[in-house]
Amino acid sequence: MYSASVIENVKNKLGFHDIGVHSKGNSGGLALLWKKHVNVVVQGYSQCCIDSSIQLEPSKPMWHFTGYYGDLDSAKSKDSWHYLKNLAARLKRPWLCAGDFNEVLRPEEVDGASQHPNWQIQDFRSVQESCGLSKLIFLGNPFTWMCYRKRHGVSRANLNRALAGAEWLSLLPTAKVYNFWSVSYDHRPIKIQLESAGARDDRGKLLTEIHRGTRHRKEKIHFETMWSKVTECENVIRHVWDAHKHSNGEGGKLAKQNRGMQERVVAVEPCNIWEHKETIR
């Protein structure tokens, strides 16, 4: 949900420019923020998307970006699909389209009670193919949305994604999508790393190493209090704590215990923590 006050606060703190589309009730809403040195020309916006042309640096070519939000009403989503098809037909620049599509491309992208009829999935796939869009490399948990209800348990789906045309993929061939973990919201945030992290972005490099299963030497490991609020996590904490009781030196013992807990607790199925969202907030 787009909140003008929150976006305004973030924009001022970061020194960004922005444009926003307000939500309808408790759903929807879009915001696009960009750094002042980046050349962004907003081409248009609606309840389902913000269209813009982006030039990261004066020497770099301009490309088109669509920030997308798919309507929860399947009847209205047809209008959104039609918009994307028309946009693809008239675009002359490399194209990246990303956001919450509220739909999946394959039945395997849904787990649990959440239902996505086959005709809806086929509609989305048809739009993807007719627009000439391909999925970016996706790293992290395969599900970007989770919901827990007592009667039905946990439902999960891959609703947030980034799709790009062949020209855009040739322009930025090392681009990847990272899926992060959120306890406070049902949608996980995704980050699109546009270029290879090794030469340009130490933070991006650190993220790449974490997803490969290794950690940067300077990364600090912190114990999260919320871990102890979930039974499964509490058992892991006790096990790791006892396993390193006799490590040499108090500092070394605590470091091993803390690192061991983070690695083991993060491996616990996310839905177990999701069920306790209200408790651990």
Domain segments of the chain as ranges: 38-211, 225-280
pLDDT of res. 281: 47
pLDDT of res. 147: 79
Average pLDDT over residues 46-57: 92
Average pLDDT over residues 200-216: 39
Q: Is the pLDDT of residue 139 over 50?
A: yes
pLDDT of res. 85: 95
Dihedral angle sign, alpha carbons of residues 235, 240, 243, 246: negative
pLDDT of res. 71: 84
The tokens describing 232, both together, are 């499964």
Q: Is the pLDDT of residue 193 over 90?
A: yes
Q: What span, in angstroms and rounded, lies between the C-alpha atoms of 168 and 135?
A: 12
- In degrees rounded to 5, what are phi and psi of residue 186? -75, -25
Q: Which amino acid is at 112?
A: G
Higher pLDDT, 124 or 261: 124
Average pLDDT over residues 30-53: 92
pLDDT of res. 206: 37
How do residues 235-270 score in pLDDT, each as one tens digit? 666 776 676 666 555 555 555 555 555 545 444 444
Higher pLDDT, 47 or 249: 47
pTM (2 d.p.): 0.69
pLDDT of res. 199: 39
Q: Is the pLDDT of residue 202 over 50?
A: no
pLDDT of res. 155: 85
Rg value, the chain, Cα:
21
User: Lowest-confidence range among 13-27, 88-102, 132-146?
Assistant: 13-27
- In degrees rounded to 5, what are phi and psi of residue 134? -125, 155
Q: Cβ distance 235 to 206 under 8 Å?
A: no
Fold for domain 38-211?
Deoxyribonuclease I; Chain A (3.60.10)
Higher pLDDT, 228 or 190: 190
Q: Is the pLDDT of residue 171 over 70?
A: yes
